[in-house]
């Protein structure tokens, strides 16, 4: 089958865009251990100085402190904790939930998430985009169950059991980022105009100001 010469430039552009749109840089060597000192444009630690501790983290066996307003704690293991994750496009978290605690609605702008429940009972879900009519995809999870949250989708978890719950999640980025919806909307610095939020959320401006006072102090 002969490919039209007129299609070749488009094929090349498509190929280039597939690389440009990658969320994390792909490695061009065995590893690229991140370093803080970027003098001279050097982003990788000298491979000869790399050792096992650059790929190691200890502590995910320890429960996080859930004594807070939402009743949960996220222990993050990304490139900030393991510099050897640099360019690998993966990271990990442990999430602890007190009874009735929640990981409130949030989104990861740079990565999808796959969560496995190891203890307790969780109600989890995500909401699709406006284009998909904001459909809710939700399940009750039991130990051994797995659920996926697509990149950028607002999602949540809540402990619906009477005992603490523990989950582990992998993310498709060395630093997926997190945007907690309530904190972001009502706790921005400086605050968003209350009148704007009042109309957007169909609330009285006084209610918005009360929420901003609450989340702005967190």
Parse the chain into domains and list their residue ranges: 30-177, 178-217
Instruction: Provide the pLDDT for residue 195.
Output: 96
The model's pTM is 0.84
Instruction: Provide the pLDDT for residue 44.
Output: 87
Is cis: bond before 190, omega within 30 of 0? yes
Instruction: Provide the pLDDT for residue 218.
Output: 55
Q: What is the DSSP string of 72-114?
A: EEEEEESTTT-GGGTTT--EEEEEEE-TT-EEEEEE-TT--EE
Instruction: Provide the pLDDT for residue 160.
Output: 98
Query: Which residues does the chain have with pLDDT short of 70?
Result: 1-27, 37-42, 217-218
**HSE-up of 115 (CA within 13 Å, CB side)?**
31
Instruction: Provide the pLDDT for residue 114.
Output: 98
Instruction: Provide the pLDDT for residue 185.
Output: 97
Instruction: Provide the pLDDT for residue 36.
Output: 73
Would you say 155 is a known binding-site residue? yes
Residue 133 DSSP class: T
Q: Which CATH superfamily is domain 30-177 in?
A: Jelly Rolls (2.60.120.10)
Instruction: Provide the pLDDT for residue 25.
Output: 63
Q: How far apart are CA 62 and CA 163, in angstroms?
A: 17
Would you say 100 is a known binding-site residue? no
Name every residue whose Cβ is closer than 8 Å to that of residue 174 and which is 6 or more positions away in sequence: 24, 78, 79, 85, 86, 87, 88, 89, 90, 91
Would you say 103 is a known binding-site residue? yes
């Amino acid at each position: 089958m002969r490919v039209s010469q007129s299609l070749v430039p488009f094929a090349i552009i498509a190929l280039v865009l597939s690389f440009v749109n990658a969320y994390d840089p792909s490695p061009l060597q065995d590893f690229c251990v991140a370093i803080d000192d970027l003098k001279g444009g050097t982003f990788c630690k000298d491979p000869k100085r790399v050792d096992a501790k650059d790929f190691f983290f200890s502590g995910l066996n320890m429960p996080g402190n859930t004594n807070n307003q939402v009743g949960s704690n996220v222990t993050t293991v990304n490139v900030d904790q393991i510099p050897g994750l640099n360019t690998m496009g993966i990271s990990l978290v442990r999430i602890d939930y007190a009874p009735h605690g929640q990981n409130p609605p949030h989104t990861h702008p740079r990565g999808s998430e796959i969560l496995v429940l190891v203890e307790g009972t969780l109600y989890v879900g995500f909401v699709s985009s406006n284009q998909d009519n904001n459909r809710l995809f939700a399940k009750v999870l039991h130990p051994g169950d797995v659920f996926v949250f697509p990149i950028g989708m607002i999602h949540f978890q809540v402990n619906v059991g009477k005992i603490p719950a523990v989950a582990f999640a992998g993310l498709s980025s060395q630093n997926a980022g997190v945007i907690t919806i309530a904190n972001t909307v009502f706790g921005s610095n400086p605050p968003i105009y209350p009148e704007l939020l009042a109309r957007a959320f169909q609330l009285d401006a006084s209610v918005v100001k009360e929420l901003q006072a609450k989340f702005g102090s967190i």
